[in-house]
Structure 1
Amino acid sequence: MLNPLWLKTFVTVARCRSFSEAGRHLVLTQSSVSEHIRRLEQHLGRRLFVRDTHSVALTADGEAMLAHAGVILQSIAKAETQFRSSKLKGRVRLGSSDDVALGPLPTVLAAFRDAHPDVELEITIGMTGRLYELLDAGAIDLLIGKRRLGDRRGVPLFTGRLEWLARTGTLVDPGEPLPLILVAEPSVTRAVVLDALAQAGVPWQIVCTSSSHAGCVAAARAGLGVTVRAEYLAARGLAPPVNRASLPALPDVEFIALAARRLSRPAATLLQLLHESDLRGAWVGE
């Protein structure tokens, strides 16, 4: 029989890609985390991680087990919510970046609503940088978005790679400044892109600024220039430039959940659901 404690430890290690980091999130020693994984692997008769002194990666069996573990833990959480929790009432003020909102977030919110129909959800969609400001000002309870450069707050939910996108068939002229379409400040994506270009010594010019990723996609479809978007978000009519190899590689960005210091019970319950949900699923853009 699969021990839910082993599964929770396994999922946390898979998300953090680190035994020590998982231990900090679970308030367990690293040896306890290792023991949970060892016993789970022994029970399954399969190796779930490939690890060395510098990295932790899922094996093919580990990837398959991660999907099953997420379903099992969500089912357990739903049962506990239904039979052990008293009825929740109140309000949760959630901030989400618009790229996350285009993904499976509605599924998570639907599950929360089904379990807690008396809780009011107040959702703010905006750039991650602006959401940080709202959280620090006490205007929202939770945020889901990219981790801000230099900021170590928040619990990692998943990692996504940024990619260059433009109207299909676009050929970037290496002799001219790169025509950029980016979201307005404050934006984690904007900061990451401009930093990558500066390090590579690539000249650029902002040709269009938008308050949302949807606006950037529209401008790119119109052929105004090149934009950037997380690779899991498809966008019809856009593709990497034909000569994308001439552009600097963009780094992975961490998507996190970050909470206010004091949370109401409804907000804490939603935060727990976000931690346990697989927000890395197949996302489809507009």
Structure 2
Amino acid sequence: MLNPIWLRTFEAVARCHSFTEAARQLGLTQSSVSDHVRRLEESIGRRLFIRDTHSLAITSDGEAMLAHAGSILQAINRAESQFRAPRLRGRVRLGCSDDVALGPLPAVLTAFRNAHPDVELEITIGMTGRLYELLDSGAIDLMVGKRRLGDKRGTVLFTGRLEWLARAGTTMDLAQPLPLILVAEPSVTRAVVLDALAQTDFRWQLVCTSSSHSGCVAAARAGLGVTVRPQYLAARGLAPPVNVASLPALPNVEFIVLAAKRLSRPAQTLLQLMHDSDLRGSWIGE
């Protein structure tokens, strides 16, 4: 068993390169320090230091143990810090775009709820453009959504590629204007798509506008035209058009978290969790 007291003593000796100095820093006797290291060596059956009256050297097993000791002691410190701190109470008003809510957000909310069960979550799902308005007016504390064109605010959590989607098996008639199904303004996705099309020679026509991505998916399933979704979001019954390679390339979009100027402790805690979570850069959708 790796006793954390022995690990702390071992780490101090390795850092100080001295039993005497480690004892002084830890407020222990030198014999206690020696005993802790000896018992740790006995528990793992490996020698951690080579020492004589004039020198002290750490062994290869000692180097390996030092790496494990650091991780173990950090985990213990985090656990002790969490349970020493008073339980968080209050409310967090979170705004989230529906494409993020259908993707990676639930795992973060589960982790936050498990750690802070006394905090009330008030979640508003809406188009990213509307969430910016709510944040700027003080109606929400945090928002997670796509970054607006030209906007530098917020912290990037991950990057997603937009893709064209239509009813499975659809081939777009490139001799006709591209029949677009897009969400209504204010919408970052809408702005990104129209900006991308404006840089091409493609003709296009808005055939359907919806207040949500779900409405766009329904219209696309009905065969009204082509819509756009982040690549990580599955949409049953939809697929890239057969001739999608002939359509204009769509850019990546940055998904960000943006906070109000003043945050409560619960909101700050959720913000930090988002920064540290697998939303940040490594999330892969189903």
Same fold (TM over 0.5): yes
Match of 1:157, SS? strand
1:76 CA displacement: 7.9
Larger radius of gyration: 2
Matching of residue 282 in structure 1 with residue 284 in structure 2: yes
Matching of residue 253 in structure 1 with residue 253 in structure 2: yes
Q: Which residue of 1 aligns with 2:109?
A: 109
Q: Which residue of 2 aligns with 1:181?
A: 181
Check whether the contact 1:101–1:125 (CA below 8 A) recurs between aligned residues. Answer: yes
TM-score (norm 1): 0.71
Q: Can you give the 5+ residue segments of structure 2 that lack an aligned partner in the other structure? A: 1-6, 8-62, 65-71
Distance in 2 separating the partners of 1:123 and 1:80:
30
Check whether the contact 2:148–2:188 (CA below 8 A) recurs between aligned residues. Answer: yes
Match of 1:250, SS? coil
Distance in 1 separating the partners of 2:158 and 2:240:
23
Distance in 2 separating the partners of 1:109 and 1:249:
34
Q: Cα–Cα, structure 1 residues 233 and 175, in superposed 2: closer, same or farther, change >3 Å?
A: same
Distance in 2 separating the partners of 1:245 and 1:108:
35
Match of 1:256, SS? strand
Q: Which residue of 1 aligns with 2:221?
A: 221
Distance in 2 separating the partners of 1:144 and 1:261:
15
Report the AA paired with residue 106 of structure 1: P
Q: Cα–Cα, structure 1 residues 177 and 272, in superposed 2: closer, same or farther, change >3 Å?
A: same
Q: Which residue of 1 aligns with 2:236?
A: 236
- Structure 1 runs (4+) greater than 4 angstroms displaced: 75-78
Report the AA paired with residue 176 of structure 2: E
Matching of residue 165 in structure 1 with residue 152 in structure 2: no
Q: Deviations over 1:246-271 (max 9, x none)?
A: 21100000000000000000000000
TM-score (norm 2): 0.71
Report the AA paired with residue 95 of structure 1: G
1:235 CA displacement: 1.1
1:83 CA displacement: 2.3
Match of 1:200, SS? coil
Match of 1:192, SS? helix
Check whether the contact 1:81–1:115 (CA below 8 A) recurs between aligned residues. Answer: no
Q: Can you give the 5+ residue segments of structure 1 that lack an aligned partner in the other structure? A: 2-42, 45-71
1:218 CA displacement: 1.1
1:80 CA displacement: 5.9
> How well do the aligned residues superpose, as a CA RMSD in angstroms?
2.2
Q: Cα–Cα, structure 1 residues 213 and 81, in superposed 2: closer, same or farther, change >3 Å?
A: farther
**In the TM superposition, what are the counterparts of 1:1-286 in structure 2 within 5 Å?**
79=79, 82-279=82-279, 280-284=282-286
Match of 1:229, SS? strand
Distance in 2 separating the partners of 1:250 and 1:157:
20
Q: Deviations over 1:229-250 (max 9, x none)?
A: 1111111111111111221100
